[in-house]
Amino acid sequence: MKPLDVLGELLENQVMVRLKNGLVVKGKLKAFDIHINLVLEDASFEDNDVEKKVKNMFLRGDMVIFIS
Amino acid sequence: MKPLDVLGELLENQVMVRLKNGLVVKGKLKAFDIHINLVLEDASFEDNDVEKKVKNMFLRGDMVIFIS
Amino acid sequence: MKPLDVLGELLENQVMVRLKNGLVVKGKLKAFDIHINLVLEDASFEDNDVEKKVKNMFLRGDMVIFIS
Amino acid sequence: MKPLDVLGELLENQVMVRLKNGLVVKGKLKAFDIHINLVLEDASFEDNDVEKKVKNMFLRGDMVIFIS
Amino acid sequence: MKPLDVLGELLENQVMVRLKNGLVVKGKLKAFDIHINLVLEDASFEDNDVEKKVKNMFLRGDMVIFIS
Amino acid sequence: MKPLDVLGELLENQVMVRLKNGLVVKGKLKAFDIHINLVLEDASFEDNDVEKKVKNMFLRGDMVIFIS
Amino acid sequence: MKPLDVLGELLENQVMVRLKNGLVVKGKLKAFDIHINLVLEDASFEDNDVEKKVKNMFLRGDMVIFIS
């Protein structure tokens, strides 16, 4: 089993994504590709102590540290 | 469905793009490619607390953190 | 023997992964690929002096310094 | 339409290019390629509060944030 | 003779690897590939003035400054 | 005309190269390739307020911001 | 003539290599490849004001600013 197969098992599940700029984004994983570009649905993150929510978020893969 | 398909659904819609240098740019998504290079129409962003507007903006994909 | 062969021998073993942002993550190595993307099971790491645990963690390979 | 097509429409026009090191360069767009390498004619930029002008400037694409 | 041939001559020898994050790791070179990913046996390094030792270390090549 | 064609026209001419680490190097452009690796003849640059000169300098392309 | 041809002419000569982390390494150029990975013989560099010498040094190309 390869790492991307494990990501595939996370589709439609709630995930937490930690980004290189310190942001932590939560949402439902709707899509990913080999660059680890992600799409999260009903995504939320804290921006200067204010929680922000967006319906759909496209995350560029090179910003990802880890997904859990 | 892949992440770029989701970007395709955002064409002609208002998007918010957060960049690695901290800028947040808003505008209508007119074009994108696999590098996540973007073209925004009627784009606006804050530069040292001054809002700036440009008719067309070509954004290099490697600066993108997320698009929503 | 190549470095990735050595990683292969670590599958199903406990590993320690040091990341470029300073985090050290421990867990059981479940999967890896040529980009050094990793999947760790029962992963734990210290975040601001608080130990955090996650069942499955996908780690992007470009964040890895070393694995031992 | 792809982002590079939009760049093509900017050829022979005055553009403003914001670079990752903070410089903003203005000039007439004479050439570009898929790496977003650019050539600007009659380019000007501020360097430590002094405006500098050069007849032709080759700009490496990986320094570009956006072009407008 | 190419640089990787020289690395090949270092196999099974003690090497010192200086990393981009300032760490210096010593150990016996057991494996390398074209990305300069390395495996060191009986590797040691100083971490906050404490010497640490690990039996086998996989080092990601893009962290390497030099090997001697 | 593509950006590299414009570089070709600069061969055997005096150029100024601004690097990502802040150095500005002047010299005669003797060679370049698609990575924007450059060779400058009779190159000079300021290093801690001391002007240094070298007969031939090979410059790695990924350090280049612009050439004029 | 291409930049790598010029590097070829430097083989077996003393060179000075400036690295992105500020180190300056001197030695005899024994090998190089298209990534600008280098091997220097009888290499010396200053580390915290102490001169260090190594018999053979493999230098990863992406650390190179220039070679002269």
Q: Give tens-digit pLDDT for D36-45.
A: 999 999 999 9
Q: What angle do CA C2, E36, E31 make, to 5 degrees?
A: 30
Residues of C in contact with E32 (CB under 8 A): 2-3
Backbone angles phi, psi at G35, to 5 degrees: -85, 0
Mean pLDDT in residue range E10-34: 97
> What residue of D is the nearest CA neighbor of F61?
D60
Percent of chain E with pLDDT over 70: 100
Q: Return d(Cα A7, Cα C56) in angstroms, integer.
A: 10
CA distance to C2, C51, F65, per residue, from D62 (Å): 32, 38, 8
pLDDT one-digit tens code per residue, E41-58 = 999 999 888 999 999 999
**Neighbouring chains to D with at least 3 Cβ pairs closer than 8 Å:** B, F
What is the per-residue pLDDT for E47? Answer: 84
Judged by CB atoms closer than 8 Å, whether chains meet at D10 and B62 is answered as no
CATH number reported for the structural domain that contains residue E11 in this entry: 2.30.30.100
Determine which helix (DSSP H) or strand (DSSP E) holds D5, and give its type and residue range: helix D3-9
Of the candidates F42, F29, G6, B60, the residue with the CA atom closest to the CA atom of residue F64: F29
**A17: phi then psi, degrees, rounded to nearest 5:** -120, 125
Whether D49 shows a pLDDT value over 90: the answer reads: no
Tokens coding G1: 């003539």
Does residue D64 sit at the F interface (CB-CB below 8 Å)?
Answer: no
Identify whether the C-beta of residue F26 lies closer than 8 Å to the C-beta of residue F18: no
pLDDT of G54 reads 95
End-to-end CA distance of chain A: 17
Q: State how far the Cα of B3 lies from the Cα of B11, in Å rounded to an integer.
A: 13
Residues B10-21, mean pLDDT to the nearest whole number: 97
The string of DSSP letters for E1-57 reads --HHHHHHHHTTSEEEEEETTS-EEEEEEEEE-TT--EEEEEEEEEETTEEEEEEEE
Q: Quick check: F49 pLDDT over 90? A: no
Chain F from 2 to 41: CB within 8 A of any D CB: 2-7, 10, 16, 20, 36
pLDDT, mean of residues D24-32: 98
- pLDDT for A41 equals 98
Contact call for residues C61 and C35 (beta carbons, < 8 A): yes
Query: Among candidates E34, E35, F31, F5, which has minimal Cα distance to G7?
Result: F31
Inspect the interface and report whether the beta carbons of D21 and F66 lie closer than 8 Å. no
The predicted structure's pLDDT at residue C23: 94
pLDDT digits (tens, 9 = 90+) for A7-45: 999 999 999 999 999 999 999 999 999 999 999 999 999
- The rounded distance, in Å, linking the Cα atoms of B36 and F7 is 27
Tally of residues, chain F: 68
What CA–CA distance (Å, rounded) separates E17 from C29? 25
Distance CA D8, CA G3 (A): 30
Nearest Cα residue to D35 out of D13, D14, D64: D64
Pairs of residues, one from chain A and one from chain B, whose beta carbons lie less than 8 Å apart: 52
DSSP F20: T
Place of tokens 């007119």: B30
Q: What is the pLDDT of residues B31-55, one digit of tens each?
A: 999 999 999 999 999 988 899 999 9
Is residue A47's pLDDT more than 90?
no
User: What whole-number distance in Å separates Cα of residue B64 and Cα of residue B55?
Assistant: 20
CA G49 to chain CA centroid, Å, is: 19
**For chain E, how many structural domains are there in total?**
1
* Percent of chain B surpassing pLDDT 90: 94
Helices (H) and strands (E) in chain D, counts: 1, 5
Residue contact B19–D65, C-beta within 8 A: yes
> Cβ C66–E58 below 8 Å, yes or no?
yes
Q: For chain F, give the mean pLDDT.
A: 96
> With helix as H, strand as E and coil as C, how does chain C read?
CCHHHHHHHHCCCEEEEEECCCCEEEEEEEEECCCCCEEEEEEEEEECCEEEEEEEEEECHHHEEEEC
Which chains have 3+ CB pairs within 8 A of G? Answer: E, F
The boundaries of the domain holding residue E19 are: 3-67
Q: What is the pLDDT of residues C19-36, one digit of tens each?
A: 999 999 999 999 999 999
Contact B46, B24 (CB under 8 A): yes
The pLDDT, as a whole number, for residue G34 is 96
What gap in Å lies between CA G3 and CA F40, rounded to an integer? 9
Q: State which residues of chain G have pLDDT below 50.
A: none
Segments of B1-68 assigned E as strands: 14-19, 24-32, 38-47, 50-59, 64-67
Tokens 């698009």 sit on residue: B67
Statement: residue D48 has pLDDT above 90: no
Q: pLDDT band for position C48 (50/70/90)?
A: confident
